[in-house]
Amino acid sequence: MPNTALITGASSGIGAELARIHAAKKGALVLVARRRDRLDALKAELETAHGVKVMVIAEDLTDAGAPQRIHAAVTEAGITVDYLINNAGLGARGLFHAMPWEQSLAMIQVNAIALAGLTRAFLPEMVARNSGRILNVTSTAAEMPGPLQAIYFATKGFAAYLSNALVEELRDTRVTVTNLMPMATATEFAEVAGMAGTALFANTASPRAVAQDGYDAMLRGDMDAYGGMTTKRRIMQAIVKVMPKRAALRAVRRAQEAS
């Protein structure tokens, strides 16, 4: 039987590419995002191109009840989720003390709480079956603090640490958890997060390359993986990680500032 993948943030960017990769392998899909029109268009594309079954769930993950509603809808439909791909994410740039708290809270809800909530909802079933794969899309931001994106970096760190801890908790099962850390990617994220024109987004990876790296890492059961990373970016990432913390923070801040 084909595996079914549930993908959040599936209406565009990395999420849509992950859906296309999975559908090309004849896997069924549950697509989750806020924008129903885009989900419906992607559903039609994938069903026509690959003859796969696609369920669409329009949900806003800033709503604390969304993970439970998503799980209930999937359960009611009689669908077994083999791959859970937590891809949805929000970002914003600005001083922590000046940013509206509602904006910061939305990032915490989507990047951390919803990811944890969906993982908690579907993981017991995977453990009971002794099979399943989880892919949590975080960011290279997960590896360091991020001035001017303090909440975003912190929530990505939360998601990465949660993912890694679950690997150890699940080591006696056939359930895997992969932490995917994409570099800056050519999606709508930069514009929405106020990052367009910054040094960080001067050179970006393609969403397809990131999605393929993540999907392959998930199938291998890797603990951590980078997405779309060039050799230059790998070197830069490694340098920042070993720099004195204050110097690293200044370097990260410069990358966030508009060029």
- Which residues are annotated as catalytic? 152
Residue with tokens 């590896």: 143
CA separation for the pair 176, 208 (Å, rounded): 22
193-196: long-range pairs with CB below 8 Å, 24+: 193/90, 193/91, 193/92, 193/93, 193/149, 193/152, 194/92, 194/93, 194/94, 195/91, 195/93, 195/256
Do residues 185 and 13 touch, judged by C-beta distance below 8 A? yes
Task: Give 189-219 as a 3 state SS string.
Answer: HHHHCCCCCEHHHCCCECHHHHHHHHHHHHH
Map tokens 């859906």 to a residue. 19
Strand partners, 58: 33
